Copies of this chain bind each other. A is one copy, B any other.
Amino acid sequence: MSNIREVAKVAGVSIATVSRALSHPDKVSKNSLKKVNDAIALVGYKPNMLARNFRFHKSYAILVLVPELANPFFSTVVKGIEDVARQKGFNVLLGDSRDSIDREKEYLKLIETRQADGVIQLRPHRPADGQIFSHADFPVVSACGCVGTPYPSVRIDNAAAQQQVVEHLISLGHTRIGVITGLADNPHSIVRLKGYKQALENAGIPFDDTLVTEGDFSLWSGLNSATQFIHMDQKPTAIVAFNDEMAIGAIKGFKSVGLDVPNDISVTGFDDIEFSKYNEPTLTTISQPATELGKTAMNLLHRLLEGKTLAQQEYILPFEFIVRGSTANKA
């Protein structure tokens, strides 16, 4: 069984350098790191990382709390996180929280018990979270959340994005614009609804709360909301859905009763998942920089894990409004 002494000998460096290369690879010169890694491969040394982790009280793993793993938007954010985590020598533990704070608390035991060093939270902060994250004694970063996150965060300006979508619909002559939110208490629902209202207000269109339906970000809930709109006496001529899945579901619902999208009714999404380009019609939507959100979040978390401070509490990345085939002039 080879050991660290042998590695040091073959690498031509001190045992301390080998130890440092294993524990803090970023603190060793590239040249030394290469020597050590080559020597490790050559002598077939397998460091027991659990021993290292125990000694340094670090696990070199981070925990990502994902509200819905099957949502392609989140899996793209996770990819960005993973890319940077691997560069920095960290493993990614994924916690499928299913938007439940109780499940999140279970996962946070990984931190308490030192099996993870920090957290990236992918769902937006809620008042009910209290100080779980804002006064945590571990590094935590919010990715793709909302305004008012009381801990370091990276996100887009959700209200401005939704406002731009609605302004586009108003420019096409629509004044009766239905909404499919996420769950009513989801901050994304609240913030994007603000953007919707702002666009109406700017155009002098009164807000009508009967036009707001509640979804849950799933395909099915979009279909369900479409059914509600179809049965209204004064039907909307355009619909803004607060994510792409619900927009795709709603389009399905409208087409199933013979309505043409966009000629009878326009529909917009949010996120720009890959499927939005393949839907018929293709989806007018907001493109979130999903990979970049993930990468930035991991870079911020890494700074915190190194005991450094962040220049800002909030990093706002640019979104892009993409007009495709699901929106048209009011008939």
Contact = CB atoms under 8 A, between A and B. Distances in A.
Contact of A113 (B47, B94, B280): B47
A18 interface: no
A79 B91 contact: no
Interface in A36-61: 46-51, 53-54, 57, 59, 61
B115 A61 contact: yes
B69 A79 contact: yes
A86 interface: yes
A86 B255 CA distance: 41
A106 interface: yes
Contacts of A93: 61, 91-94
A186 interface: no
Contacts of A114: 48-50
Nearest to A74: B75
A76 B70 contact: yes
B61 A69 contact: no
Copies of this chain present: 2
A91 B75 contact: no
Contacts of A249: 278
Given A93-B91, A114-B50, A252 B280 contact: yes
Interface string A227-262: 000000000000000000000110010010000000
A144 to B, nearest CB: 15
Contact of A275 (B76, B223, B275): B275
Contacts of A47: 113
B96 A82 contact: yes
Given A93-B91, A115-B49, A248 B219 contact: no
A214 B254 CA distance: 35
The 9 closest A-B pairs by CB, nearest first: A49-B113, A94-B94, A54-B54, A70-B75, A50-B114, A69-B75, A46-B112, A252-B278, A50-B54
Given A94-B94, A279-B279, 15 more contacts: A48-B114, A49-B110, A50-B50, A50-B53, A50-B54, A50-B114, A50-B115, A59-B115, A69-B75, A70-B72, A70-B75, A92-B93, A92-B94, A93-B93, A280-B280
